[in-house]
Amino acid sequence: MSVLRVSRTHFPVTALGPGARLGVWVQGCSLACKGCMSQDTWSPGGGVDVPVADLVALWREAAGRGADGVTVSGGEPLQQPEALREFLAGVHAERGAADILVYTGYEESELDERRRNAVEFADVLVTGRFDITRPTALIWRGSANQRMVPRTDLGRRRYAQHVDHEPERPPLQVRADGSGIWLIGTPRQGGLAALERGLRASGLPVESATWRLRSPGQSG
């Protein structure tokens, strides 16, 4: 069985998709969107190799705790198409009523056969590169060009109400672990700077941040 290069996982994620979800952030992205908030996931040499079987076991555990779905983000999930497909097939085989949401920086028109196969089991895709010049208030999207595309009956039933939804505030989670704090969700323009100011005001200086590791244009 293959391995997926993973940056991190978390349960419950409540800021990227409906309900409480298993979040899987893959490692490696060569698309290098200016202003990407997850630049720590760009290098294919970062993160860790996780056997797909272990990730499916993680899903099983999350499902046992009432997970409503899986969200795969990154990094660029479609740059590991075979392992991604295997993971999503494993989730799909024992998902019950849970849904599968995958974020990709690729447009639908850029999905070749390998990439299309990779997301065969996804109920919903959020597609398109992050474009810092096109801010948005749409839920679970980072910029106005990104499209939420339900692909199955379950995806349409569960996500139709969210496709054009603009909440007053974006859902966000802040998590802390041994290496620092990290943000889950899609903050609005200026949200990351506001977070840094808030942390400083609370006596927590931000020494480095995943949204300004590299200068614009520098790639993975």
Stretch that binds ligand SF4, among 31-39, 46-54, 59-67, 181-189 (CB under 6 A): 31-39
* Binding-site member from 33, 56, 91, 101 for ligand SF4 (CB under 6 A): 33
Residue 41 interacts with ligand SF4 (CB under 6 A): yes or no: yes
- 44 preceded by a cis bond (ω within 30 of 0): no
**3-state SS, residue 10:** strand
User: Closest approach of Cβ 128 to ligand SF4, in Å?
Assistant: 9
Q: How far apart are CA 165 and CA 15, in angstroms?
A: 14
Are the C-beta atoms of residues 94 and 60 closer than 8 Å to each other?
A: yes
Residue 76 interacts with ligand SF4 (CB under 6 A): yes or no: yes
Residue 105 interacts with ligand SF4 (CB under 6 A): yes or no: yes
Residue 130 interacts with ligand SF4 (CB under 6 A): yes or no: yes
User: Closest approach of Cβ 22 to ligand SF4, in Å?
Assistant: 19
Are the C-beta atoms of residues 104 and 73 closer than 8 Å to each other?
A: no
Question: Nearer to ligand SF4 by C-beta: 130 or 140?
Answer: 130
Are the C-beta atoms of residues 97 and 69 closer than 8 Å to each other?
A: no
CA distances from 78 to 13, 92, 104, 113, 118 (A): 21, 17, 7, 11, 7
Partners of residue 10 on adjacent β-strands = 23
Residue 187 interacts with ligand SF4 (CB under 6 A): yes or no: no
* Binding-site member from 74, 77, 81, 90 for ligand SF4 (CB under 6 A): 74
Q: How far apart are CA 212 and CA 73, in angstroms?
A: 19
Residue 211 interacts with ligand SF4 (CB under 6 A): yes or no: no
Residue 36 interacts with ligand SF4 (CB under 6 A): yes or no: yes
User: Closest approach of Cβ 34 to ligand SF4, in Å?
Assistant: 9
Q: How far apart are CA 201 and CA 199, in angstroms?
A: 5
Residue 213 interacts with ligand SF4 (CB under 6 A): yes or no: no
Residue ranges binding ligand SF4 (CB under 6 A): 29, 31-33, 36, 38, 41, 74-76, 105, 129-130
